[in-house]
């Protein structure tokens, strides 16, 4: 039976051929389809790569076709409004509606199970506060910073030139310019597309030092000074790790390196471009602090920070000890959650490496509080933050502002096709294909970027006012409630341990934190064995 379709196609091919010759040449037209199918069936029988096509010639290809469009079928026909991953239909629809200036109102009540475990909510007040009229911002820059920066509490997270198309970068940056929020470059360097429209930039420097490297992959201070001097570059972020693939490097094959990419990254044509798993400029917590000081001096005092996904907790505490020992502090720390996304990552890294955002953020906040450093260092957070509630929740548990990558990708047209790594993005966002990226209209999508930010900030203002607060910086863990069990409700303040100022510097009342603190050393990252 498994050969029946192939045999029938061969018979039809022969029959049409005979009838076309002997009776009427109209019978020859079906051969345009039948001959290729017959040849495909013959190839299926003789090839040795796929067992399924040898056993089921022709029809087995339906499996590959359905497998190819499985994400679309699942997204549009199988999943409910609230069950999809990574972003469910409701989350995606909210982004699209706000980007398009559609009201985004929902009739007839929530579809969420409000009595299910992990349901969360923000407490409102019987005395709501008047809604803020000015956009929420926070100032970044410690005592050693000569050029502090006032940033929005919601910004575009790191996405590199090469990962996103030139048109996508142009649209995002133009939207950031109009909305007065920042656009993080990602680790691929400051490209012409980041600079053209004049939006504020956070220049991210990864392990490859793209844009400020020597040919051997080491850091070049002179190139850094040159790039950091751009007026659009408001802050510099050292990328230590990212949530989607912490501790994992990458390779851009030589064949994919264009002249434009080579110029932006300061790499040679004809050679693979390597992003190592770790930095070669520093190898100890003290070394990281010294590197921060070096970048601050080279940039003429612009805010310097670093981004990481928390792994071994004692390693971050080692950095805290190095800060105390050297007196060198970053102006900000960006915490990325393990649920973060990227263009491509091994499944094991996406699913099972890196601390999730809420856990990692609370830990970083506690560590800085416990060292009496929290009031001196701002904390940013990223990891599936795209709505007013997810913003409020993240700000309540320790962040000063939030970044979003996939949210802004959707604002410029991403449909969660999950083909970012194939260069075949159907909407021209995550591709370098000249024809595909033409579909992305920069003027239209820049306006959508601006709208998404503005309307999300408007929603945040309404949420904050309903909670009886004037500014998101008044949010605290006790404002957010979590159903931990079907019959148990806890505030985040009750569900998690929160340290008091200086508790790590004396006798910490939390044994886990005390043990981690005792393991930590300013002189090495190798502190997690004990």
| CATH code assigned at 142 | 3.20.20.70
For 256-277, give the DSSP string: G--HHHHHHHT--TTS-EEE-S
My answer on whether 290 and 438 are in the same domain is: yes
Q: What is the mean pLDDT of residues 513-530?
A: 88
Domain count along the chain: 2
My answer on whether 237 and 360 are in the same domain is: yes
The reply to whether 141 falls in a domain is yes
pLDDT of residue 345: 72
The reply to whether 109 falls in a domain is no
pTM above 0.85, yes or no: yes
My answer on whether 195 and 60 are in the same domain is: no
Query: Is the pLDDT score of 335 beyond 70?
Result: yes
**Lowest-pLDDT range, 148-152, 285-289, 297-301, 413-417?**
413-417
Q: Tell me the backbone φ, ψ of residue 503, rounded to 5 degrees.
A: -65, -25
My answer on whether 399 and 290 are in the same domain is: yes
The reply to whether 216 falls in a domain is yes
**Lowest-pLDDT range, 5-9, 146-150, 500-504?**
5-9
The reply to whether 415 falls in a domain is yes
The reply to whether 113 falls in a domain is no
Is there a contact between 404 and 99 (Cβ–Cβ < 8 Å)? no
pLDDT of residue 437: 85
My answer on whether 472 and 338 are in the same domain is: yes
285 — pLDDT class (breaks 50, 70, 90): very high
pLDDT of residue 302: 98
* Structural domain boundaries, residue 55: 4-68
Q: For 371-418, what is each residue's pLDDT tens digit?
A: 999 999 999 999 999 999 999 999 999 999 999 999 999 999 888 877
The reply to whether 119 falls in a domain is no
Please report, for residues 323, 381, 382, 424, the alpha-carbon distance to residue 405 in angstroms, rounded to integers and kept in the order given: 29, 11, 8, 19
> What would the two tokens of residue 403 be?
């970044």
Query: Is the pLDDT score of 252 beyond 80?
Result: no
My answer on whether 33 and 145 are in the same domain is: no
| Strand pairing class (201-205; 273-275) | unpaired
pLDDT of residue 529: 66
> What would the two tokens of residue 269 be?
């044509």
Rg (CA), the chain: 27
My answer on whether 41 and 178 are in the same domain is: no
Last residue of a domain, one of 18, 46, 68: 68
My answer on whether 179 and 55 are in the same domain is: no
Q: For 336-349, what is each residue's pLDDT tens digit?
A: 988 777 766 777 87
Is there a contact between 317 and 362 (Cβ–Cβ < 8 Å)? no
N- to C-terminal Cα separation, the chain: 63
Last residue of a domain, one of 52, 68, 84: 68
The reply to whether 92 falls in a domain is no
In the block, tokens 């990708």 appear at: 409
Q: What is the mean pLDDT of residues 233-256?
A: 84
My answer on whether 219 and 353 are in the same domain is: yes
**Lowest-pLDDT range, 84-93, 117-126, 511-520?**
84-93
Please report, for residues 108, 225, 310, 386, 392, the alpha-carbon distance to residue 396 in angstroms, rounded to integers and kept in the order given: 29, 36, 19, 15, 6
Query: Is the pLDDT score of 451 beyond 90?
Result: yes
Query: Per the omega criterion (within 30 degrees of 0), is the bond before 86 cis?
Result: yes
The percent of residues above 70 in pLDDT, for the chain, comes to 98
My answer on whether 63 and 158 are in the same domain is: no
Nearest CA to 413 out of 78, 100, 192 is that of 100
Query: Is the pLDDT score of 530 beyond 70?
Result: no
pLDDT of residue 82: 67
Query: Is the pLDDT score of 320 beyond 80?
Result: yes
Q: Give, to the nearest 10 degrees, the angle between helix 31-46 and helix 4-22.
A: 140
pLDDT of residue 430: 85
pLDDT of residue 321: 98
The reply to whether 77 falls in a domain is no
My answer on whether 154 and 52 are in the same domain is: no
Q: What is the mean pLDDT of residues 10-23?
A: 92
My answer on whether 173 and 42 are in the same domain is: no
Please report, for residues 204, 212, 348, the alpha-carbon distance to residue 160 in angstroms, rounded to integers and kept in the order given: 9, 15, 23
Q: For 176-218, what is each residue's pLDDT tens digit?
A: 999 999 999 999 999 999 999 999 999 999 999 999 999 889 9
Task: Return the exposure string of 161-186: e unless at least 16 CB atoms fall within 10 Å of the residue's CB, then b.
Answer: bbbbbbbbbbbbbbbbbbbbbbbbbb
Higher per-residue confidence, 528 vs 277: 277
């Amino acid at each position: 039976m498994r050969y029946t379709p192939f045999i029938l196609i061969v018979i039809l091919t022969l029959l049409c051929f005979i009838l076309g010759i002997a009776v009427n040449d109209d019978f020859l037209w079906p051969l345009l389809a039948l001959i290729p199918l017959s040849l495909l069936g013959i190839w299926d029988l003789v090839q040795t790569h796929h067992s399924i096509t040898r056993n089921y010639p022709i029809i087995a290809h339906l499996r590959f076709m359905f497998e190819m469009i499985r994400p679309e079928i699942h997204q549009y026909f199988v999943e409910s409004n609230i069950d999809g991953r990574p972003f469910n239909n409701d989350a995606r629809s909210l982004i699209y509606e706000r980007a398009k200036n559609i009201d985004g109102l929902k009739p007839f009540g929530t579809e969420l199970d409000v009595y299910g475990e992990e349901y969360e909510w923000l407490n409102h007040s019987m005395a709501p506060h008047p809604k803020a009229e000015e956009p929420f911002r926070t100032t970044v820059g410690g005592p050693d910073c000569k050029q502090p920066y006032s940033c929005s509490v919601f910004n575009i997270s790191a996405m590199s030139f090469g990962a996103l198309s030139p048109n996508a970068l142009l649209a995002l940056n133009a939207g950031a310019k109009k909305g007065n929020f920042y656009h993080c470059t990602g680790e691929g360097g400051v490209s012409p597309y980041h600079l053209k429209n004049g939006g504020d930039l956070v220049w991210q420097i990864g392990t490859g030092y793209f844009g400020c490297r020597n040919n051997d992959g080491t850091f070049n201070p002179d190139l850094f000074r040159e790039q950091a001097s751009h007026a659009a570059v408001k802050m510099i972020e050292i990328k230590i790790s990212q949530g989607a693939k912490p501790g994992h490097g990458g390779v851009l094959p030589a064949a994919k390196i264009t002249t434009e990419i080579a110029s932006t990254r300061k790499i040679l044509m004809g050679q693979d471009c390597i992003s190592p798993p770790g930095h070669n400029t520093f190898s100890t917590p003290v070394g990281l602090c010294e590197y921060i000081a070096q970048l601050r001096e080279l940039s003429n005092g612009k805010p310097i920070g670093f981004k990481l996904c928390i792994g071994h907790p004692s390693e971050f505490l080692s950095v805290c000890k190095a800060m105390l020992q050297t007196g060198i502090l970053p102006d900000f720390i960006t915490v990325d959650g393990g649920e973060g996304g990227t263009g491509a990552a091994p499944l094991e890294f996406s699913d099972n490496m890196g601390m999730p955002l809420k856990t990692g953020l609370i830990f970083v906040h506690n560590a800085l509080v416990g060292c009496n450093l929290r009031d001196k260092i701002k904390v940013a957070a990223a990891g599936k933050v795209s709505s007013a509630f997810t913003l409020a929740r993240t700000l309540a548990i320790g962040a000063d502002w939030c970044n979003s990558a996939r949210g802004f990708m959707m604002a410029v047209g991403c449909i969660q096709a999950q083909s970012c790594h194939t260069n075949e993005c159907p909407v021209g966002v995550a591709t370098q294909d000249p024809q595909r990226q033409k579909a992305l209209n920069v003027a239209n999508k820049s306006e959508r970027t601006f709208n998404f930010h503005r309307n999300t900030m408007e929603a945040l203002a309404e949420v904050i006012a309903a909670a009886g607060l004037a500014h998101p910086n008044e949010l605290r863990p006790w404002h957010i409630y979590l159903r931990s069990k079907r019959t148990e409700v806890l505030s985040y303040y009750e569900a998690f341990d929160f340290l008091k100022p200086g508790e790590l510097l004396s006798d910490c009342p939390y044994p886990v934190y005390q043990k981690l603190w005792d393991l930590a050393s300013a002189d090495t990252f190798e502190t997690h064995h004990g």
